[in-house]
């Protein structure tokens, strides 16, 4: 009996060691710096248009949480904060964003965490997602509204099926065909837009979309969690952060295709332009939740590429972020609620970040 006990413990120990060794082996691949990061703009032709971009909004209301136990209501401090935020300030931010629309505004993109979730009941979650979609769709009127799934969008009891019930018919309506997946793509004036579900990204679909549209003028990936990790010590995951091998492959593909990433999740306003021998990946990260902490801008927002990774605390994280040293051309970070306007022209793309309900740009960058 003792022998079997020993054998069992031995097998367990070997399995644990193998798992540890595998995790130690898989590392984020270091990118190769270029001698010259200055890439001249090319006139790619084609039509000009504008996009309004929103980060996390966490749509919420007391009516969606009746099924949540008192214990959880106390634990989830974001619920009263979201309710207060939607009652007092979110309308101002959304109105400011809408006022930037022109006759050439093609769409509004919301980068996931459209809702707070945490309803404790599937039906309540269907109502929360449906109400949020209807609110945004009505608010922006003629301008088509698109969004992707973030972690909060199906967070809670029976929430995944509830999200599908509310979101998939909307995706189908917008695309004019049956959409049965939380990931989808389409083109606008020869530019490719891929929307992926952050929680369960459809990598085959991303590859297919890029392959089918290899000649697209510009390529965008809308993913709730960013591809290049935001520089925050408290970051809870990013795109494929739980699978390093898939991450390395997918990041190479995105670099090769010079993809522009639109992301949220990390609750920061950030721009990272990564230019390496492997290609170029430019990433916008936004947080549109106007929490009380964001009433006043927290930081002036000027940052240098060398400062990327400066917020990391542990030796492992410092080493992980150091892998991007030498390949970051532009790094901007600001802890504030913001929306962005993308102006897509034949000679490039310009992004402007706007803070709260401001109409003057806080930060401007030429992406391409």
Residues found near Fe ion in the complex (CB under 5 A): 56, 113
CA distances from residue 34 to 70, 119, 280, 305, 329 in whole angstroms, order as listed = 56, 49, 11, 15, 10
CA distances from residue 75 to 68, 72, 79 in whole angstroms, order as listed = 11, 5, 9
Question: Minimum Å distance from CB 255 to Fe ion?
Answer: 26
If the CB atoms of residues 105 and 266 are measured against Fe ion, the closer one turns out to be 266
If the CB atoms of residues 113 and 330 are measured against Fe ion, the closer one turns out to be 113
Question: Minimum Å distance from CB 266 to Fe ion?
Answer: 8
Q: Which of 320, 204, 290, 303 is nearest to 253 (CA)?
A: 204
Question: Minimum Å distance from CB 57 to Fe ion?
Answer: 9
Question: Minimum Å distance from CB 165 to Fe ion?
Answer: 22
Question: Minimum Å distance from CB 113 to Fe ion?
Answer: 4
Q: How many helices (H) and strands (E) does the chain have?
A: 9, 13
Question: Minimum Å distance from CB 118 to Fe ion?
Answer: 12
CA distance between the termini of the chain:
69
CA distances from residue 253 to 132, 192, 208, 220 in whole angstroms, order as listed = 33, 15, 11, 13
If the CB atoms of residues 59 and 354 are measured against Fe ion, the closer one turns out to be 59
If the CB atoms of residues 55 and 305 are measured against Fe ion, the closer one turns out to be 55
If the CB atoms of residues 196 and 257 are measured against Fe ion, the closer one turns out to be 196
Q: Which of 338, 330, 263 is nearest to 298 (CA)?
A: 338
Q: How far apart are CA 184 and CA 74, in angstroms?
A: 37
Q: How far apart are CA 45 and CA 348, in angstroms?
A: 9
If the CB atoms of residues 149 and 328 are measured against Fe ion, the closer one turns out to be 149
């Amino acid at each position: 009996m003792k022998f079997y006990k020993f054998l069992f413990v031995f097998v367990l120990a070997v399995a644990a060691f193998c798992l540890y060794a595998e995790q130690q082996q898989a590392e984020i691949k270091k990118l190769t710096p270029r001698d010259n990061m200055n890439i001249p703009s090319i006139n790619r032709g084609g039509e000009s248009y504008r996009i309004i971009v929103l980060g996390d909004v966490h749509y919420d209301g007391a009516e969606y949480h009746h099924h949540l136990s008192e214990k959880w209501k106390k634990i989830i401090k974001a619920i009263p904060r979201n309710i207060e935020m939607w009652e007092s300030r979110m309308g101002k931010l959304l109105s400011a964003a809408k006022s930037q629309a022109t006759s050439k505004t093609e769409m509004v993109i919301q980068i996931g965490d459209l809702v707070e979730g945490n309803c404790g009941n599937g039906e309540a979650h269907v109502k929360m997602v449906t109400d949020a979609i209807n609110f945004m769709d009505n608010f922006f009127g003629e301008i088509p509204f698109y969004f992707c799934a973030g972690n909060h969008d199906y967070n809670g009891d029976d929430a995944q099926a509830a999200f599908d019930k509310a979101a998939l018919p909307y995706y189908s309506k917008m695309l004019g065909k049956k959409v049965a997946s939380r990931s989808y793509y389409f083109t606008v004036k020869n530019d490719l837009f891929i929307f992926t579900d952050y929680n369960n990204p459809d990598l085959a679909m991303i590859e297919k979309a890029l392959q089918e549209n290899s000649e697209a003028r510009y390529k965008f990936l809308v993913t709730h969690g960013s591809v290049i990790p935001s520089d925050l010590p408290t970051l809870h995951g990013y795109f494929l952060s739980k699978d390093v091998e898939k991450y390395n492959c997918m990041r190479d593909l995105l670099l090769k295709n010079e993809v522009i990433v639109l992301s949220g999740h990390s609750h920061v306003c950030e721009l990272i332009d990564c230019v390496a021998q492997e290609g170029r990946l430019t990433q916008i990260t936004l947080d549109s939740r106007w929490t009380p902490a964001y009433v006043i801008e927290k930081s002036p927002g000027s940052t240098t590429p060398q400062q990327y990774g400066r917020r990391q605390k542990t030796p492992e994280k410092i080493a992980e972020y150091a892998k991007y040293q030498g390949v970051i051309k532009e790094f901007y970070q600001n802890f504030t609620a913001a929306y962005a306007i993308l102006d897509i022209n034949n000679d490039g793309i310009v992004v402007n970040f706007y803070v709260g309900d401001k109409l003057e740009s806080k930060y401007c960058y030429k992406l391409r």
